[in-house]
Amino acid sequence: MKILCISAHPDDLEFMAGGSVAKWSGEGHEIHALTLTDGSWTSPNGMLMRTADDAVNEEKKAAEVLGYTVENLGYPMDLSFGDKLVVEVLRRIEKFNIDTVICPWEDDQNHDHEIAARIAIVASKKLPRVFMGQVNYYVRNFFTPNVFIDITSTWDKKIESLKSYNSEWNRTGKDWLEFLDVSTRYYGKIVGVERAEGFICNKLLL
């Protein structure tokens, strides 16, 4: 496969599909990531929580852990849907001869995740495979995956890649680990393996 992973923020990919990406990379598939925003953000009380430079540099470290190439478009957070970003995705689909897209779930509660999903799905209208992953454990609707990838052998790499995001891991890593430990074991139980990542299939050509 030639896979394009489309994310709103640095660390989205690792959270929703880090184990799968590591597995596919190890099997020789080509994986490219396109991140739409620079990942910098400020808390409601005005405190700078992550700089753009830190986020992009951490993203590069995570890419080395998992074995993918990454390009960050550097837009500010609070994305808007529009043809400009759809075209950016289309360019990468053509450049890398992509046949599979991984993106956030279109019903994610986070605005940027939702917009990234809309952009990815529109740009992928001629592709045979599109899968949506869960980036956020705060729900508007419940995420109910119907495609599962065995990540038993790549779970450690998934967590290692998330730890590349130092500031976010120090702030919320305990919550990330708790959620991912439970959810990957549960998805694994569904399909008879130790751990799995789950995706919702937008479309699949058999």
- C-alpha closest to that of 130 among 1, 42, 15: 1
Please count the residues of the chain.
Answer: 206
Name the class of domain 2-204.
alpha beta
Report which DSSP code applies to 37.
E
Amino acid 181: pLDDT: 98
Helix (H, G, I), strand (E, B) or coil at 176: helix
Task: Name the strand (E) or helix (H) holding 193.
Answer: none
What are the pLDDT digits (tens) for 39-86? 887 778 877 778 889 999 999 999 999 999 999 999 998 899 999 999
Q: How confident is the model at residue 195 (pLDDT cuts 50, 70, 90)?
A: very high
**pLDDT exceeds cutoff 90 at 105:** yes
Mean pLDDT for 12-35 is 98
What are the pLDDT digits (tens) for 116-174? 999 999 999 999 999 999 999 988 899 999 999 999 999 999 999 999 999 899 989 99
pTM of the entire structure? 0.94
Structure tokens at 121: 């799905």
Angle between helices 83-95 and 111-123 (to 10 degrees): 50
Q: Terminus-to-terminus CA distance in the chain, angstroms?
A: 14
Amino acid 90: pLDDT: 98
